[in-house]
């Protein structure tokens, strides 16, 4: 799915936590957030789209997930944190090139063409990865290893980037063709920004084939590169983006502008982002990782993933059209299903290390709701979502607010900002309160009570904001008339 990913190492954050975050925005996918207990994890998994069948281990852990409500195309669990406090987000659809895809073709499902023949299963993809990996890993590194083995064994039918985090490390894995992959540990003091492109612009291949301290890859990657004449690098520099990625005109409209805006936000002083001799929104060499000019907070990640080029001439909501308004694909796009920030807090007790910040619908208008993840159930306001439009859950409440406020942005934006600030502030207040209560009492089952209190707050704030933007939209209907009727 077209998505945007942000990864933050522990020394780059204000509170020494690690964060992996992604907008899941391929289409208007109705989403919910649930807890999957070990008893509910199937022992034999079958993909709906690719028809591949995979035997799963006998020891799954509990984990959170944000699956599709309509399961006709599969689970699409998207993101979550497991009982070992390991987060995973899958997947960021990335780009490749014909040299790679012809040398190691994607493993696509092939239906039998005539009687007597058998269907040929495809590989694994975004539909499957969280369910196949997250319940079985105790560290971010283990996530890379397990997913890498699955890719080598079953292949994949799409090009994807996948992130893992635990309290100490963040790892990013990118697929290469049908069966190959490479992964890199995100340095502790940097922030990674990745739109829908092959992202890594540096890789220590000697480490990957040696100690594997911060780099891993498929076992035959060196031979694969050499045998297929894939190395486009010069002067001894190994840049995976030049070998495995793309440099297309479409990237300049769809992908690179997003990285430019996020980089501009994170490090406004360390790089040149505007004017001559600077990075621009269509630059092919935008850095994959950036050492931010100041420590990064959850709110910073929320802002980046909610952005629409505000403060630039590309903002689709600016009043004055300079000829460049809305020419680039926004990050906070209309068709987002769910956005999650998986935060693992190294300073917290094991039972409450994991906090997942959930936002549904277009992030430009939605609020991020924090929940403790080491729980046995998620409140109905997040977990019981129907395909029918309703104000009884956050998903549809968020979609309604966005649709109403979008066409009345100038008059509604203040209400949206107040809504987002209120949910973030009150959500943090409740987390702080229950962190202390649970630490003092030793009763970590209070996390479920905290989640209920947070969701009650979010329900009230969402209902209040929905009423305000509805009132504003009603006043600006095209069939309005200013002469008052008596």
Query: Based on the domain organization, do 408 and 275 belong to the same domain?
Result: no
User: Is the domain of 457 the same as that of 402?
Assistant: yes
Instruction: Name residues whose C-beta falls within 8 Å of residue 377's C-beta, 6 or more positions apart in sequence.
Output: 35, 383, 448
Establish if 484 belongs to a structural domain: no
Q: Report the pLDDT value the prediction gives residue 484, as an integer from 0 to 100.
A: 63
Provide the edge-to-edge strand list for the sheet that holds 79-81.
79-81, 87-93, 160-165, 170-176, 180-185, 215-217
Q: What is the CATH number of the domain that holds 146?
A: 3.60.60.10
- Would 371 be classed as within a structural domain? no
Residues 207 and 152 in one domain: yes
Host H or E run for residue 305 = helix 298-305
- Do 249 and 317 belong to one domain? yes
Residue 106's alpha-carbon distances to 1, 96, 283, in angstroms, are 16, 11, 28
Q: Looking at the DSSP assignment, which residues form a beta bridge with residue 4?
A: 23
In-domain check, residue 407: yes
- Between CA 167 and CA 144 the distance in angstroms is 16
pTM of the model: 0.96
Instruction: Specify the number of domains making up the chain.
Output: 2
What gap in Å lies between CA 399 and CA 410, rounded to an integer? 18
Residue 77's contacts (CB-CB under 8 Å, 6 or more residues apart) are 36, 65, 66, 67, 90, 130, 131, 134
Q: In 3D, which of 162, 154, 158, 166 has the Cα closest to residue 183? A: 162
166 and 296 both lie in a single domain: yes
Backbone angles phi, psi at 184, to 5 degrees: -135, 135
Q: Domain for residue 292, yes or no? A: yes
Is 375 inside any structural domain? no
Q: Which of 312, 333, 364 is the last residue of a domain?
A: 364
The DSSP bridge partners found for residue 7 are: 20, 192
Residues 360 and 393 in one domain: no
Known catalytic residues are: 3
In a domain, 453, yes or no: yes
Which of 364, 393, 409 terminates a domain? The answer is 364
Residue 326 shares a structural domain with residue 428: no
Cβ distance 2 to 93 under 8 Å? yes
Range of the domain at 466: 385-478
Residue keyed to tokens 């540990």: 185
Q: Do 271 and 415 share a structural domain?
A: no
Q: Can you tell me the distance from the alpha carbon of 219 to that of 123, in angstroms, rounded to the nearest whole number?
A: 19
Strands (E), 245-368: 289-290, 338-345, 354-360
pLDDT confidence of residue 320: 85
Supply angle C-alpha 19, 16, 86, rounded to 5: 45
Q: How many CB atoms lie within 10 A of CB 436?
A: 10
Residues 22 and 144 in one domain: yes
- The pair of structure tokens assigned to 162 is 């996948």
Task: Give the DSSP letter of residue 60.
Answer: P
Assess whether 341 and 408 both reside in one domain.
no
Instruction: Map residue 341 onto helix, strand or coil.
Output: strand
- Parallel, antiparallel, or unpaired: how do β-strands 53-55 and 63-65 relate? unpaired
Which residues in the chain come in under a pLDDT of 50? none
DSSP 228: T
Query: Is there a single domain that holds both residue 343 and residue 412?
Result: no
- Supply the mean pLDDT for the chain: 96
**Could you tell me if residue 434 is inside a domain?**
yes
Query: Is 369 among the domain residues?
Result: no
The pLDDT assigned to 27 comes to: 86
Kindly give, in sequence order, each residue whose CB lies less than 8 Å from that of residue 213, ignoring residues fewer than 6 positions away: 185, 207
Residues 359 and 389 in one domain: no
Q: For residue 259, give the H/E element and its range.
A: helix 256-266
């Amino acid at each position: 799915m077209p998505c945007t990913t942000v990864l933050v190492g522990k020394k780059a954050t204000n509170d020494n936590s690690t964060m992996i975050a992604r907008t899941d925005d391929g289409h208007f996918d109705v989403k919910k957030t649930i807890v999957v207990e070990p008893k509910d994890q199937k022992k034999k998994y079958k993909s709906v789209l690719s028809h591949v069948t995979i035997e799963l281990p006998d020891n799954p852990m509990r984990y959170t997930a944000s699956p599709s409500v309509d399961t006709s195309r599969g689970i699409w669990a998207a993101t979550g944190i497991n009982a070992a406090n390991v987060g995973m987000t899958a997947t960021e659809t990335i780009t490749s090139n014909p040299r790679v895809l012809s040398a190691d073709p994607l493993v696509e499902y092939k239906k039998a063409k005539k009687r007597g023949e058998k269907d040929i299963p495809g590989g694994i993809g975004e539909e499957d990865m969280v369910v196949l990996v997250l319940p079985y890993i105790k560290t971010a590194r283990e996530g890379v290893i397990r997913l890498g083995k699955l890719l080598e064994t079953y292949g994949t039918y799409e090009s994807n980037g996948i992130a893992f985090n635990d309290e100490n490390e963040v790892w990013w894995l990118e697929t290469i063709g049908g069966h190959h992959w490479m992964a890199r540990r995100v340095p502790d003091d940097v922030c990674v920004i990745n739109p829908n492109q092959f992202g890594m612009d540096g890789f220590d291949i000697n480490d990957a084939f040696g100690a594997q301290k911060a780099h891993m890859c498929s076992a035959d990657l060196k031979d694969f590169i050499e045998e297929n004449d894939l190395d486009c690098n010069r002067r001894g520099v190994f840049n995976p983006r030049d070998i495995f990625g793309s440099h297309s005109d479409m990237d300049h409209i769809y992908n690179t502008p997003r990285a430019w805006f996020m980089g501009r936000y994170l490090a406004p002083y360390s790089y040149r982002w505007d004017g001559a001799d600077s990075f621009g929104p269509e630059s092919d060499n935008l850095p994959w990782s950036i050492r931010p000019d100041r420590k990064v907070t959850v709110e910073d990640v929320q802002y980046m993933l909610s952005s629409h080029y505000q403060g630039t001439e590309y903002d689709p909501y600016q009043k004055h059209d300079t000829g460049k308004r809305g020419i680039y694909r926004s990050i906070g796009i209309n068709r987002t299903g769910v956005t999650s920030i998986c935060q693992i807090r190294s300073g917290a007790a094991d039972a409450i290390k994991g906090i997942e910040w959930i936002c549904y619908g277009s992030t430009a208008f939605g609020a991020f709701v924090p929940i403790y993840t080491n729980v046995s159930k998620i409140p109905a306001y997040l977990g019981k979502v129907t395909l029918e439009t309703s104000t009884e859950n956050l998903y549809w409440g968020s979609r309604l607010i966005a649709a109403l406020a979008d066409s009345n942005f100038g008059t509604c934006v203040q209400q949206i900002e107040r809504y987002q600030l209120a949910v973030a502030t009150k959500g943090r207040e409740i987390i702080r309160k229950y962190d202390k209560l649970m630490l003092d009492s030793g009763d970590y089952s209070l996390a479920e009570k905290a989640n209920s209190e947070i969701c009650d707050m979010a329900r009230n704030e969402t209902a209040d904001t929905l009423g305000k933007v509805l009132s504003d939209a009603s006043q600006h209907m095209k069939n309005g008339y200013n002469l008052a009727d008596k």
